[in-house]
Structure 1
Amino acid sequence: MLAAAAVCPCPPLLVPEVAAGAAAELDAARDACMDAIGVLAASRPDRLVVVGPADVDGDGPYPPGSTGSFRGFGVDLGVRLGHGTGAERPLPPSLAVGAWLLGRADFGDCPVEGLAVDEALAAEDCAAAGRDLAGRAPGGRSGRTALLVMGDGSARRTVKAPGYLDERAVGFDTRIARALGAADLAALLALDTGLAHQLKVSGRAPWQVLAGAAEGAGLGGRLLYEDAPYGVGYVVAAWS
């Protein structure tokens, strides 16, 4: 059963060492993320899963203890998903940022694993993956699962954005923020896959995994942050 969820953006710039002199620009987003992580910790889960967009190394699960780093961003900083032997392949950046956030909270001995989701995964397959996550617990038992869901909105909010300006971006991100803040599962599952790709939205598939996981859980949502620094839509929300 899904006990709680936190939704956070996944730019490596959230990590102050990566942002360096620009770290203060994301202080509000960083603080909101930690508030959302606090909701996860308060839910006392039996299992915690970080869900985020895959990178070029592919999608799939990452077992507890999997490691990643920010060396590709010029910083010799490593992270780990909880405790365990982990996977041979490194965490993608989205899950590495999630691991960094979780490292700033106390989850005790709760198993922490990851799931990297292909950007092109269809909505119904995302929802099915979410239902599977919510239905599994350590040892195959039923239990309380919490999700940390990483992903960004459109990267086309301004002319200086990574994808340049697209006038559809603000409206799309507004719908995303409204759905995440209200824990509106139907609205999340209805997000247009093609349009999300055109607008360079990295969070579409992870958010739809969340929607599947939350079916029948009766969770309410709370929007903690919404902005577009650097022309990219960032949303933070907590579900409990």
Structure 2
Amino acid sequence: MLVAAAVCPCPPVLVPEVAAGAAGELDDLRAACGDAVRELLDAGAELIVVVGTGAKGGVWTEGGIGSFHRYGVDVAVRLPLGGVDGPELSPALTVGAWLLEQAGAKLPTHACAVRPDTAPDRLLGLGEGLAELADRVGLLVLGDGSACRSVKAPGYLDERAEGHDAMIAGALASADTEALAALDPALCAELQADGRAPWQVLAGAARGAGLNAELRYEAAPYGVGYFVASWR
């Protein structure tokens, strides 16, 4: 069953080497992610599953490797930490592996990439299945909110984005699985909120688990909604 979850965004600029001279702009976000991941690791889980988007989907159970070489940075990570090389991790899962490495994770770890266009019912069912992988499962859930929060945002300004992100923040702050399950795939796609699919996996995994929640961070630097939450 699911005993805890950490929800974090997954911009590559979380990695200081990628952000370079702008690294200090995300210190608060980076600290909130670190706190959430450490709390996840302290929750007594037997297995951690990292969930994020990936263009092809996929599951990693024996080993996976990701890198930030595409950003001109010689930083690579593996899942499980210190494990053997395996298939390449999606960009979101690579950030998740980096967060676990920074927190000194030692627990057995799997990873699951979901396609951004996956239907909600399939994501909810996947979450239910992940929660049954061990007696005590923890999830590290990676995804960003709307990328349309300002004129300088990747998706430019969409007046719907701020209210949409506020609703997501409220759901993450209260462990509202029904609100996350009801997220509209079409609207999320229009607002470039790629966290929709991973959050709906979380909703399926957490149904009936009776978890409490804390929203650790909510802001839109660079015009993209970022959330950090702990469910326990």
Whether these two folds match at TM > 0.5 is yes
Other-structure match for 1:180 = 172
Q: Which ranges in structure 2 are unaligned for 5 or more consecutive residues?
A: none
Aligned partner of 1:124 in structure 2 is 121
Q: 2:72: which partner in 1? A: 74
Equivalent pair of 2:215/2:230 in contact (CA under 8 Å): yes
Q: Distance in 1 between matches of 2:64 and 2:8?
A: 20
Amino acid at match of 1:135: E
User: By how many angstroms is 1:45 displaced?
Assistant: 1.1
The aligned residue for residue 154 of structure 2 is 162
Deviation at 1:136, TM superposition (A): 1.1
**Aligned residue in 2 for 1:40:** 40
Tell me the TM-score normalized by structure 1. Answer: 0.94
The equivalent residue for 1:114 is 111
Q: Give unmatched runs, 5+ long, in structure 1.
A: 138-142
**Counterpart for residue 139 of structure 2:** 147
Task: Work out the CA distance in 2 between the residues paired with 1:103 and 1:174.
Answer: 30
User: C-alpha separation between the residues in 2 aligned to 1:225 and 1:30?
Assistant: 10
Q: TM-score, normalised by structure 2?
A: 0.97
Contact 1:63/1:87 (<8 A) preserved: no
Q: Secondary structure at the match of 1:119?
A: coil
User: Percent of counterpart pairs with the same letter?
Assistant: 56
Helix, strand or coil at the partner of 1:218: coil
Counterpart for residue 140 of structure 1? none
The Cα of 1:65 is off from its aligned counterpart by: 2.7
In structure 2, what is the equivalent of residue 133 of structure 1?
A: 130
- Say if 1:163 and 1:200, in contact at 8 Å, map to a contact too: yes
1:94 partner amino acid: A
The code of the aligned residue for 1:87 comes to G
Superposition misfits of 4+ residues, deviation over 2 angstroms: 83-88
2:211 is paired with a residue of what secondary structure? Answer: coil
2:71 counterpart letter in structure 1? F
Cα deviation for residue 63 of structure 1 reads: 2.0
Separation (CA, whole Å) in 2 of partners of 1:75 and 1:106? 21
Q: CA deviation at 1:66?
A: 0.8
Distance 1:64 1:192, change over 3 A: same
2:60 corresponds in structure 1 to 62
Structure 1 residue 107: Cα displacement:
3.2
Tell me, yes or no, if the aligned pair for 2:78 and 2:84 is still in contact at 8 Å.
no
Q: Is the 8 A contact 1:62 1:86 kept in 2?
A: no
